[in-house]
Chains A and B, each alone.
Chain A
Amino acid sequence: MQKQRNWNVKKIITTIILFFCSIAFLLPFVWMLSTSLKIEADVFKYPIEWIPTRWNAASNYQEVWFGDHPFYLYYWNSIKVAICTTAISVVVSSLAAYGFSKVRFPAGAWLFIIVLATYMVPPQASLVPQFILYRYLGLFDTHIGLILLGSFSVLGTFMLRQFFIGIHNDFIDAAKIDGAGHWRIFWQIALPVVRPAVATYAILRFIWTWNDYQNPLIFLRTDALYTIQLAMQKFTTINGSFYTLIMAAAVSAILPLLIVFILGQKHVIDGIALGGVKG
């Protein structure tokens, strides 16, 4: 009895200490949010005013969303690109994952090795020819081009394949005897079973696409096509010293992700953990 209680006290103290550590990870976000609500003159006040004394939130956010560089437009672009990339990538990856795990064809093993090998290529190493190719194909400076860049994920294929392998072959064989082909087995049996994995992958792909800065920077030129990350950077360059506006833009850029993350928190964390442990 006595021992049990001591242990709990220790646990409470550790929790409190760790809570202070975790603040180091949250404080920049809190600072960002609080700055976005202030007037410019109060940004660097010290000691820091965590809760603004002079509020200017409405005007800051209005400038970001409907000013010279209206974020609603970039938001729409980002949402479009992220959703299309995620959708195509999920379909392509799960088709390939099923093909590589449940259709027993001799070439499959070799093709899978080729696909895996491309994962070793750092994306930047193929950037220059990609760029030339995109100009040649007319995909440069288009959303379709950007979407295609993110749509063929080796990681997604590998991850979903691990889950398809987990489906017992007896299931598939039984369905075959009943006259179902691979197409029907894929849609009606295999895919529903791995739905949680598909959800995890979809959330991760959405987050990665939303956060992507490098591809839009290189493959987009027209201002009206900018995604939120590119617009954010541009906005920062233009409004160099207006920190309240920049922080309002940063909050806007991060917010949708936070919502996706908090809604799918378990999926995201489990997915990362699984990918990591299985290697």
Chain B
Amino acid sequence: MASKSSTTAGELQESPRTMKKSKKSKIEKSENLVGFLFVSPMLLGISVIVLFPIVATFILAFADWKFVTGIDQLQWVGFDNFIALTSDEKFTKSVINNAIFIFTVPITMFCALFLAVIIDKNVYLKSYFKVAFFMPYISSVVAIAVVWQVLFHPSQGPINQVLMTFGIENPPTWISDPNFALISLMIIHTWISIGFSLIVYIAGLQSIPKELYEAADIDGANSWYKFRNITFPLISPTSFFLLITGIIASFKVFDLIAVLTEGGPLNSTTMLVWHLYERAFLDLDVGYASAIAVVLFLFVFSITIIQWIGQKKWVNY
């Protein structure tokens, strides 16, 4: 069907002027059709599964409606849901926790860059190290969360056993302590994400021209000077990419909370996505959950916009 776009002998024999015009428009037309056919499954899927729902989220955010009742019970309430958000302590707590969680991103990047510089140049068994550090990233979060839950066990868990051996008498109870629960989740999240950043950094390092280092060697520069003046600036596009994707990913953390803490203890680990899930699927409050979803969308959207602008301004290419 798509092969219609090829020229046939008959068309070639037409007079040059009309031939050029008709051939062009015919090919264009058929290219258009073919193009649509190639991309249509994707477009259709995305429209139904992403575009339509996100538009609906924005509309439902202005409604008061429970899943269980019929659509006729839906009431339009204007900005009420958003006004309610401002006095919702759990929502405020979620936003704060999301903000704190962002700290995992620079920490992950710092560790990953440090490891990447070492693995790229200074060790044997490179591929062993890549695989080892990458293992947590490909493993299922549920299985990992369950393992860490036991490792963090307050009285008998291996981590606290080790801490007690080193003379710490009252080690934190980790995920069951409101003061330590969020930090525990952050530790696990960092542990999971380092592998990804590491692989991306190693690829970034390999794209830096070797001549630059050779020239610096001739000038007698030390390692720190080379890192500061060659590696760091030239790796900045990669760092920027990791920063943005890392922040966006931190907004999407759900599995860890769902398996380990369910937002507790005392709401100490609740985050936007978790709060949204609770309001939507446990309280069945469609309107309110949609309002949270709109806030979540706006956060991620503004970060993406910053990325667009920032890429031009702050990054050395």
In the bound complex, CA of A124 to CA of B123 (Å): 41
* A contact residues around B207 at 8 Å (CB): 277
Centre residue among A35, A100, A130 by max chain B CB count within 10 A: A130
A-B contact count (CB 8 A): 303
The answer, among A22, A95, A122, A213, for a CB contact under 8 Å with B297, is: A122
CA of A18 to CA of B79 in the docked complex: distance in angstroms? 55
A144 at the interface (CB under 8 A from B): no
Interchain CB contact under 8 A, B38 and A98: yes
Residues of A within 8 A of B56 (CB): 126, 129, 132-133
B31 and A103: CB pair below 8 A?
yes
The yes or no answer to B84 lying at the interface (CB within 8 A) is no
- Bound-complex Cα distance A180 to B130 (A): 44
> Is B144 an interface residue, CB under 8 A from the partner?
yes
Give Cα A265 to B123, complex, Å.
20
Interface string of B174-201 (1 = CB under 8 A from A): 0000000000000000010011100110
Interface size class of B (residues with CB under 8 A): 35 or more
Interface size on A, residues (CB 8 A): 99
Contacts A11-B124, A184-B2, A253-B143 hold; do A118 and B42 have CB atoms under 8 A apart?
Answer: no
CA distance in complex: A74, B2 (Å): 42
Interface residues of A (CB under 8 A from B): 10-12, 14-15, 18-19, 21-22, 25-26, 28-29, 31-32, 35, 43-44, 46, 48, 91-93, 95-96, 98-100, 103-108, 111, 114-115, 118, 120-133, 148-149, 151-152, 154, 157, 176-177, 179-184, 186, 207, 210-211, 213-214, 217-218, 228-229, 232-233, 236, 243, 246-247, 249-250, 253-254, 257-258, 261-262, 265, 268-269, 272-274, 276-277, 279
* Chain B residues at the A interface, C-beta cutoff of 8 Å: 1-6, 28, 31-32, 34-39, 41-43, 45-46, 48-54, 56-57, 60, 67, 115, 118-119, 122-125, 127-136, 138-144, 146-148, 150-151, 153, 156-158, 161, 165, 191, 194-196, 199-200, 202-204, 207, 237-238, 241-242, 248, 251-252, 254-255, 258-259, 273, 276-277, 280-281, 286, 289-290, 293-294, 296-297, 300-301, 304
